[in-house]
Amino acid sequence: MDLHLPTQGLESYKSASQRARISSESWASRELYCPRCTANRLDQLPGNTPVIDFRCPHCESGYQLKSGASAFHSRLTDGAYAQMHAAILHGRTPNLFLLHYQLNPLTVSSLTFIPDFAFTLSALERRKPLAATARRAGWIGCNILLNRIPTDARILLVKDSCPVPAVEARRAFRKLKPLASLKAEKRGWTLDVLNAVRSLNKREFSLAEIYSLDSSLARLHPRNSHIRPKIRQQLQVLRDLGLLIFLGDGSYLIT
């Protein structure tokens, strides 16, 4: 994978952001592969195609590309809240590429792949409506809270300006893929508990340790008054999916 973004033909664009957008899209059409299957290229779609920018010619997975000169941290600005809310519930979210580039020289610094099924309602933040004086007065946008997506589902394709072997990225996706079989509401709980487990920053953990995070999970799911039984249930789901191993005596191991 060549991490240098193309610069040919950018002279005609005055805006630095426009030049970067054109360059990153051109790079993506040349270098991106499908992490969900064995396809080593993606087809770039026409500019007016809603939601997705690329499609895999083999498995037909759709991808959206977001790029920027600043690193992606906890929040990602997205589109209309109502549309994203419905997309999550009905399984219509696209797979996402987050491309962070350096301006001098114009190169890829990191590239993250987030599978479509990793987006949950708890990771969706409703923004304030636009002011009455705005051109789209009352419009409500949203943010994607990246820190509520488990690190397992933020799969690196480029890390610290070095490509990650495609075989490793695809292996990481295959490990997570069983989550796609769960319905949206149940999957949201499963991913939230997995994220809580990951926040412990240890491979082996106890039930008591994950119970200590029950208040944060209660804030994400305020309608559920049985948080600890739900935590136990989701630990069993994660075990059945092969993401955890139950060691006995209330201890678990992340695979």
Residue-wise pLDDT for 165-175, tens only, equals 999 999 999 99
Please report, as a single letter, which amino acid is at residue 31. E
pLDDT of residue 185: 84
The full set of domains in the chain, from first to last, is: 1-176 (3.40.210.30), 182-255 (1.10.10.10)
pLDDT of residue 105: 85
- What is the spatial distance between Cα 252 and Cα 254, in angstroms, rounded to a whole number? 7
pLDDT band at 47 (very low <50, low <70, confident <90, very high): confident
Answer whether 184's CB lies under 8 Å from 89's CB: yes
Mean pLDDT, the chain, as a whole number?
93
- Residues in CB range of 110: below 8 A, 6 or more apart: 71, 98, 99, 100, 156, 158, 159, 160, 161
Burial group, residue 12, by CB count within 10 angstroms (0-12, 13-18, 19+): exposed
- Tokens 């946008």 belong to 141
Q: What is the mean pLDDT of residues 38-62?
A: 92
Residue-wise pLDDT for 121-160, tens only, equals 999 999 999 999 999 999 999 999 999 999 999 999 999 9
pLDDT band at 234 (very low <50, low <70, confident <90, very high): very high
- What is the spatial distance between Cα 42 and Cα 218, in angstroms, rounded to a whole number? 40
Residue-wise pLDDT for 52-95, tens only, equals 999 999 999 999 999 999 999 899 999 999 999 999 999 899 99
- 142/6: higher pLDDT: 142
- What is the spatial distance between Cα 3 and Cα 53, in angstroms, rounded to a whole number? 20
- What is the spatial distance between Cα 212 and Cα 246, in angstroms, rounded to a whole number? 19
- What is the spatial distance between Cα 144 and Cα 74, in angstroms, rounded to a whole number? 8
Cα dihedral sign, 185-190-196-198: negative
pLDDT of residue 29: 93
